[in-house]
Amino acid sequence: MIPRSTSLLRRSLLAIAATAAIVPAAFAQAPIVIKFSHVVAQDTPKGKAADYFAKRAAELTKGKVKVEVYPNSQLYKDKEEMEALQLGSVQMLAPSLSKFAPLGVKEFEVFDLPFIFDDYSDLHAVTNGPVGQNLLKKLESRGITGLAYWDNGFKVMSANKPLKSVEDFKGLKMRIQSSKVLDAQMRAVGAMPQVLAFSETYQALQTGVVDGTENPPSNLYTQKMHEVQKHVSVTNHGYLGYAVVVNKKFWDGLPADVRTALNKAMADATKVANEVALKDNQDALAAVKASGKSVIYSPSIGERFLLKKAMVPVHKQMASRIGQETIDEIYKVTGFDPSKL
Ligand code: LMR
Amino acid at 319: A
Q: Ligand 1 pocket test: which of 215, 221, 245, 280 has the largest number of ligand atoms within 8 Å of its C-beta?
A: 215
Q: Residue 21 has what pLDDT?
A: 43
Q: Kind and range of the H or E element at 247? A: strand 239-247
Nearest protein CA to atom 2 of ligand 1, as residue: 198
Residue 219, ligand 1, Cβ within 6 A: yes
How far does residue 335's CA lie from ligand 1's centre (Å)? 28
Nearest protein CA to atom 1 of ligand 1, as residue: 198
Residue 218, ligand 1, Cβ within 6 A: no
List, as one string, the DSSP characters of 100-165: SGGGT-GGGGGGGSTTS-SSHHHHHHHHTSHHHHHHHHTTGGGTEEEEEEEEEEE-EEEESS---S
How far is Cα 158 from Cα 151, in angstroms, rounded to an integer?
21
In sequence order, what are the residues at sequence separation of 6 or more whose Cβ sits closer than 8 angstroms to the Cβ of residue 184? Answer: 314, 317, 318
Q: What is the pLDDT along the chain (341 residues), one digit of tens a residue?
A: 444 544 544 555 444 444 444 444 445 579 999 999 999 999 999 999 999 999 999 999 999 999 999 999 999 999 999 999 999 999 999 999 999 999 999 999 999 999 999 999 999 999 999 999 999 999 999 999 999 999 999 999 999 999 999 999 999 999 999 999 999 999 999 999 999 999 999 999 999 999 999 999 999 999 999 999 999 999 999 999 999 999 999 999 999 999 999 999 999 999 999 999 999 999 999 999 999 999 999 999 999 999 999 999 999 999 999 999 999 999 999 999 999 88
Compute φ and ψ for 161, nearest 5 degrees. -135, 155
Q: Residue 28 has what pLDDT?
A: 59
Atom of ligand 1 nearest to the CA of 39: 8
Residue 185, ligand 1, Cβ within 6 A: no
Q: Ligand 1 pocket test: which of 152, 200, 239 has the largest number of ligand atoms within 8 Å of its C-beta?
A: 152
- Structural contact between residues 220 and 226, judged by C-beta atoms closer than 8 angstroms: yes
CA 319, 305, 309, 219 torsion-angle sign: negative
Bridge partner list, 245 = 93, 146
How far is Cα 180 from Cα 7, in angstroms, rounded to an integer?
76
Residues 256-267 as b/e (b if ≥16 CB within 10 A, e otherwise) read eebeebbeebbe
Residues 15-28 as b/e (b if ≥16 CB within 10 A, e otherwise) read eeeeeeeeeeeeee
The yes or no reply on domain 31-335 and CATH 3.40.605.10 is no
Q: Ligand 1 pocket test: which of 240, 245, 276, 280 has the largest number of ligand atoms within 8 Å of its C-beta?
A: 240
How far is Cα 223 from Cα 51, in angstroms, rounded to an integer?
19
- Give SS3 for 191: coil
Domain chopping of the chain, boundaries: 31-335
Atom of ligand 1 nearest to the CA of 175: 3
Q: Residue 23 has what pLDDT?
A: 46
Residue 65, ligand 1, Cβ within 6 A: no
Bridge partner list, 213 = 158, 175
Atom of ligand 1 nearest to the CA of 216: 9
How far does residue 25's CA lie from ligand 1's centre (Å)? 42
